[in-house]
């Protein structure tokens, strides 16, 4: 499967690296092939492929969006045609000053993104933990996989993303449609406050025990 990444920093770099090592055909859609994030990814995994965004996105079946939330319009706008019909995995979080929701909880960042690319199929995933857990999601000593909650309105797109989540070593937990994205974004704020403010381990993840 061909996968493109818009953004290859802490989150995108870790996921792109991991997927490439699993055998997926991953290309970084780089606005600047010499940027720090691209350089660090190539240092980490010299087999990483980098191409200009239009080409990388046209060739891909799935596009991971892992830019800062404030950059999503600039990143997606010029690619709207190429993104038509494609699956976008929204890894972004709108985090505002004081670690509050960046859109004042009036709407989710994901629904704003969906409005920018209405012909794309959006699935929100890989947002509720820090990047440390995308670099390493093994938890020796626990006989259970960490849970990755995801949501989206397109069942086929969710099936594809669920398989990617499982391949990356997570328990995929489908929490419903895009109307759930706002709640995932609040869950992210909970995690950020627990870890970055209150001193819990950055390797804190949730597990889903379902009777």
From 6, 57, 148, 168, residue interacting with ligand NAP (rule: CB under 6 A)? 6
Residues 25-84 contacting ligand NAP, CB under 6 A: 31-32, 35-37, 66-69, 71, 74-75
**Minimum CB distance to ligand NAP, residue 47 (Å):** 18
Measured from the CB of residue 56, what is the shortest distance to ligand NAP in angstroms? Answer: 11
In the complex, minimum distance from the CB of residue 132 to ligand NAP, in angstroms, rounded to a whole number: 7
Start-to-end C-alpha separation, the chain:
34
Of all residues in this chain, which one has the CB nearest to ligand NAP in the complex?
A: 9
In this complex, which beta carbon is closest to ligand NAP, that of residue 49 or of residue 156?
Answer: 49
Identify the residue whose tokens are 């060739």.
59
Residues 155, 164: Cα–Cα separation, whole Å: 14
The CA radius of gyration of the chain, in Å to the nearest whole number, is 16
Q: In what order do the strands lie in the sheet with 147-152?
A: 49-51, 25-29, 2-6, 62-65, 87-90, 121-124, 147-152, 171-174
Residue 113 touching ligand NAP (CB under 6 A): no
The packing angle between helices 36-44 and 10-21, to 10°, is 30
Q: Does residue 131 bind ligand NAP (CB under 6 A)? A: yes
Residue from 3, 4, 11, 89 in contact with ligand NAP (CB under 6 A) = 11
102 binds ligand NAP (CB under 6 A): no
For residue 7, state whether it binds ligand NAP (rule: CB under 6 A).
yes
Q: Contact region for ligand NAP (CB under 6 A) — 1-9, 79-87, 155-163, 170-178?
A: 1-9
Taking the C-alpha atoms of residue 184 and residue 115, their distance in angstroms, rounded to an integer, is: 18
Neighbours of 12 (CB within 10 A): 24
Cα–Cα distance, 160 to 32 (Å, whole number): 29
Residues that bind ligand NAP (CB under 6 A): 6-12, 31-32, 35-37, 66-69, 71, 74-75, 91-93, 95, 127, 130-131
């Amino acid at each position: 499967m061909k996968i493109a990444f818009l953004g290859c920093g802490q989150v995108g770099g870790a996921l792109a690296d991991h997927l490439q090592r699993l055998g997926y055909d991953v290309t970084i859609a780089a606005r600047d092939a010499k940027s720090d994030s691209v350089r660090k990814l190539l240092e980490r995994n010299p087999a990483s492929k980098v191409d200009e965004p239009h080409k990388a996105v046209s060739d891909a079946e799935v596009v991971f969006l892992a830019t800062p939330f404030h950059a999503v319009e600039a990143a997606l706008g010029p690619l709207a045609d190429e993104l038509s019909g494609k699956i976008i995995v929204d890894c972004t979080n709108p985090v505002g000053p004081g670690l509050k929701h960046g859109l004042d909880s009036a709407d989710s960042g994901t629904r704003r993104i969906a409005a920018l690319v209405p012909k794309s199929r959006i699935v929100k995933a890989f947002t509720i933990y820090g990047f440390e857990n995308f670099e390493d999601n093994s938890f020796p000593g626990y006989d259970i996989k960490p849970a990755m909650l995801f949501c989206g309105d397109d069942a086929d797109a969710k099936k594809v993303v669920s398989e990617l989540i499982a391949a990356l070593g997570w328990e995929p937990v489908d929490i419903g449609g895009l109307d759930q994205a706002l709640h995932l974004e609040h869950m992210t704020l909970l995690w950020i406050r627990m870890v970055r403010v209150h001193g819990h381990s950055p390797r804190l993840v949730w597990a889903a025990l379902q009777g």
